[in-house]
Structure 1
Amino acid sequence: MILRALGHRGVVNRGVAVALAAVLVSASPAAASPGWDVVPLQPGSANLVDVTALSAHDVWAAGFAVHHEIIDGRPFARFEPQVQHGDGVTWSAVPTAPLGKDVNAQFTAIAAASPGRIWAVGHVWEPRVQVRSLIEHWNGVTWTRVPADDLPDAGHDLSDVAAVSATDVWAVGTFVKAESSGPVAQHWDGVRWTRVPLPPGLDGAALQAVAAAGPADVWAAGLAVADRESGRTEPLLLHWNGLAWCRIALPDTADRGTALLDAVTVSRGQVWAVGQSTTGGTTDRKPLVFRIDGRGPVLEPTPDEQGQLNGVTTVGREVWAVGYHYDEARNDQAYALRRGPDGTWRRAPVPAREGAALFGVTTERGSGTLWTSGAMTGAGSGQPEPLVARFR
């Protein structure tokens, strides 16, 4: 299993973190907040960690289903990639590429170049085989697994994917070897996936997110090692200018303890990168937001309260970021921030589902409709169930 520092749940990769969130949610549901419509989905233990919306009649969400089993008298959770599609009337699970028996796998992200060109990425692990990148492509009819360009003799986990066009797609994540680890970026040119060199000096770093405004304007975010002795991490932001990746210097976050970025988006010449910082222990997580424009990066002030941010998108002149926080009983609760045209971040409404965790958020193309995804506690079952909600 690939490991990566996240702070709030120990040292785990993003896929495992969202898996744990899906397994650990535990509270009863409540009615949706005004403005949010929770999409009715088929019940079943699952978490939808990312969402993309080409139109109101073509919305996709990806993540994983959780199958609870008893093996040798002990409980065991097996993970299976899951994709759900909304056509404007109903939502249904769409079969993904077969991966074989006794295989655990998760999707961590989904992105669309066009209605018939959609990519989902994550990781897969088989018995006696290292964790490998999982990349699947939707051609309008079926999902097909596409070979990744993984390093030999290394484990790989892809955390996010961004599509510029049918022949220009990026996926980022992390590799782990016996005594080293680092970030990885792979590019699709319409024929094959190829690893692209990253800046030096990123040993122990990880990439969690990627976003693209064009072929020469791609951004990747994650974490880098700030202090090897203490294990403290700092936010990491990289930019692709069409020729090479370079590291962007960010304002210092040492006073915030361990910090990282989990999501990034690009809109109207501005880049927004969000995540979390941890100063007082695993439950004391506070939102972290950077804005990058022509004047350079700025650490934006946010409400001084608990909460981590997993996804970010823009709606006109507003910015929305979603995530979750712990309540007093240590249950996950949906959390969101909204930056208005006046430049101030405030708490935003969320789908009022007790025990909900939000991971993905996107803006429907051609409209101002917001979509979010994650997991919530199923009514009566007490088990985590997939969550998709729409805000108008």
Structure 2
Amino acid sequence: MFARKSGQARGIRARLRGASVVLAAIGVVIGFAEGPAAAADNWTAVADPDSSRWFDAFLANGGDTVFARSGSYPGGDAGSGEVARYWQRNGTTWTLLPAISSQTVETNDDDVWTATSANDFWVVGQTAAAATVGNHWNGTAWEQRSPTDTTVRFLDIKAVSANDVWAVGTTRSSSASSLPGTIGHWTGSGWQVTKVTPTTGSQTELTSVYVKSASDIWAAGETCTAVGGSNCRGYVTHYDGTSWKEVAVPTGTVGIEEITAGPSGEVWAAAGTKVLRWTGSAWTGGADVSVSGAYAIRELTWAGGKLYAGLGLGSANSHSGILRWTGTAWEQVTRVPETTGYYVTNVYELSGAPDGTLWAAGSYAQLFATPTFAATLAPGS
């Protein structure tokens, strides 16, 4: 029940990704300045599967199963296009899954992923014609499980079981006067799609979904009063087992990138560097991120009963880009060991395994290149 989302969504994430490119470019000029070390954390680097590829995201799952995504340049350089392949780890062995033939899933596509077991792994992306394609790995082969509504664009997905999968996103159209948010439910035989439109003529994009139970599901993103992205605000909707209803967020909340829930059931949402917590009747604050150069919380995940946040950073500093909630404040996790001598620009992925291990992947800023890091943080750190 873990999901991976790319940074290429049309609204919120496209703007964040654009900011990261500009800020990373600034960082290349400024360079990296080492600062005080954080408290020791036991990181272990994850080796690349082969010399022509690199891991850029992880999806931890039950038992010893972990899925990973790796990138490569088939033509030998960035101009040839970066293509993603998917790996499965059982115990200590990585196995490369067959290529997905129904679409070209690139690391820069709007694909999302989720899994419940080694035989239940989903990757959802788009074809060159921008049609949404759902791909399911059954342990032996890929099966295509795409929505029949060709206007649907999924931006996040969460599987509860092989026949109970939830996905959220938006509607794509070149002429529509209103672009509603979309909520899809895979029931085992097909996708049931619900469309939400907070106001007439609006454009809504749902970028995160969290399933607490069959009658307690949360989805979040942003809604704009007009197609084209003007006058936008954060948006949250909740399913009580019967219908979806908007849950108003505090005035001034920007688009929400992540929504999740902890062991106690408390719901957390990240909007820029602002963090909201739903206590059951209202949103509370007090957990905003205040890190020099941080422009967004890109990831929120739980590992070992602790909440971790992965940041997008845009100033030359020695911050690791990863925070851990102590119960009263955020503390910096030790910087992932690396040798580039440049600062972290983006934490692509944080994924917590059932045993408490945190899997992390991200990138550094470097002239003419974007070195990546891939590592695990031992339980109990």
Instruction: Sort the TM-score into its range (normalised by shorter chain).
Output: 0.7 to 0.9
Counterpart of 2:101 in structure 1 is 98
Alpha-carbon offset, residue 170 of structure 1: 0.8
8 Å contact from structure 1 (residues 187, 195) kept in 2 = yes
8 Å contact from structure 1 (residues 112, 118) kept in 2 = yes
Q: Distance in 1 between matches of 2:24 and 2:74?
A: 12
Instruction: Compare the two structures and name the one with the higher strand fraction.
Output: 1
Q: Return the match for 1:51 from 59, 66, 74.
A: 59
8 Å contact from structure 1 (residues 210, 218) kept in 2 = yes
Residues 351-386 of structure 1, C-alpha deviation per residue, up to 9 Å, x if partnerless?
Answer: 244454212222212x221112344579xx964466
Residues 73-120 of structure 1, C-alpha deviation per residue, up to 9 Å, x if partnerless?
Answer: xx7453434212222324343223213689997363321123311212
Between 1:187-196 and 1:201-210, the stretch displaced more is 201-210
Counterpart of 2:245 in structure 1 is 246
Counterpart of 1:78 in structure 2 is 81
> How high is the sequence identity, in percent, across the aligned residues?
21
8 Å contact from structure 1 (residues 334, 352) kept in 2 = no
Alpha-carbon offset, residue 67 of structure 1: 4.8
Q: Distance in 2 between matches of 1:179 and 1:244?
A: 28
The 3 A distance-change label for structure 1 pair 101 and 160 is: closer
Counterpart of 2:298 in structure 1 is 310
Which residue identity is paired with 1:222? G
1:61 aligns with 2:68: yes
1:173 aligns with 2:169: yes
Counterpart of 2:137 in structure 1 is 138
Alpha-carbon offset, residue 237 of structure 1: 1.5
Q: Distance in 2 between matches of 1:135 and 1:105?
A: 17
What TM-score do you get using the length of structure 1 for normalisation? 0.76
Counterpart of 1:293 in structure 2 is 279
What TM-score do you get using the length of structure 2 for normalisation? 0.77
Which residue identity is paired with 2:211? A
Q: Distance in 2 between matches of 1:391 and 1:61?
A: 16
SS in 1 for 2:146: coil
Counterpart of 1:198 in structure 2 is 196
SS in 2 for 1:328: coil
Q: How does 1:135-284 map to 2 (within 5 A)?
A: 135-151=134-150, 154=151, 156-180=152-176, 181-201=179-199, 203-225=202-224, 231-253=230-252, 259-267=254-262, 268-276=264-272
Which residue identity is paired with 2:121? I
Alpha-carbon offset, residue 390 of structure 1: 0.9
Residues 292-335 of structure 1, C-alpha deviation per residue, up to 9 Å, x if partnerless?
Answer: 12232223333423322111122355311112201339xx9751
The 3 A distance-change label for structure 1 pair 325 and 377 is: closer
Which residue identity is paired with 2:141? T
Between Structure 1 and Structure 2, how many residues are aligned?
353
SS in 2 for 1:8: helix
Alpha-carbon offset, residue 338 of structure 1: 1.4
Q: Distance in 1 between matches of 2:65 and 2:136?
A: 16
Q: Distance in 2 between matches of 1:232 and 1:304?
A: 25
Q: Distance in 2 between matches of 1:390 and 1:325?
A: 20
Alpha-carbon RMSD: 3.9
Alpha-carbon offset, residue 193 of structure 1: 1.8
Counterpart of 2:309 in structure 1 is 321
Structure 1 unpaired stretches of 5+: 12-16, 277-286
Structure 2 unpaired stretches of 5+: 1-7
Alpha-carbon offset, residue 63 of structure 1: 6.8
8 Å contact from structure 2 (residues 65, 117) kept in 1 = no
8 Å contact from structure 1 (residues 312, 321) kept in 2 = yes
1:390 aligns with 2:376: yes
Counterpart of 2:329 in structure 1 is 344
Q: Distance in 1 between matches of 2:59 and 2:24?
A: 16
Which residue identity is paired with 2:114? A
Counterpart of 1:279 in structure 2 is none
Q: Distance in 2 between matches of 1:229 and 1:87?
A: 45
